[in-house]
Amino acid sequence: MQHAPDEPVALTVNGQPATVDAAPDTPLLYVLRNDLALNGPKYGCGLGECGACTVLVDGVAARSCVLPLGGVRGRRVTTLEGLCRADGSPGPVQQAFIDEQAAQCGYCLNGMIMTVHALLEREPHASEARIRSELQYNLCRCGTHIEILRAACRAAQSK
């Protein structure tokens, strides 16, 4: 079904219905940050290569800087904010990152946490090798890879 370019786009974001009046080719990242005031996903490279903008679309990790708004029409999008528990406390993967102090500047953490969360939803007890493989395309410029890996393994062990 074709949609008019100016027709609002309806989707679900962090469990809540949202309707966005933006062009369908607008990057989802821009909509999340600018229209919906969600600051979890970050603008990193703008090319879908660093992972800072990662969100979940129907439970699958996706790079929101290269995903057009029209591509998520009617779908479920989850951002870092959506991983928190109902009381606002950190979710299990987020808590593992806190416990392992897996942050320096923190810019990459959105992508790392979202990628690990998606993996553990598919494979609750993922091995370290599997975690490494999943995170290989998420970039951390500060060099906290060891702490990030330790946090991801902790989250997998706690499942």
- In tens digits, the chain (159 residues) has pLDDT values of 455 556 899 999 999 999 999 999 999 999 999 999 999 999 999 999 999 999 999 999 999 999 999 999 999 999 999 999 999 999 999 999 999 999 888 899 999 999 999 999 999 999 999 999 999 999 998 888 999 999 999 999 987
pTM for the whole structure? 0.93
The CATH number of the structural domain formed by 9-79 is 3.10.20.30
* Domain spans, the chain: 9-79, 92-158
The CATH superfamily of 92-158 is [2Fe-2S]-binding domain (1.10.150.120)
- Which are the contacts of 24, defined by CB distance < 8 A and separation ≥ 6? 3, 5, 9, 68, 69, 70, 73
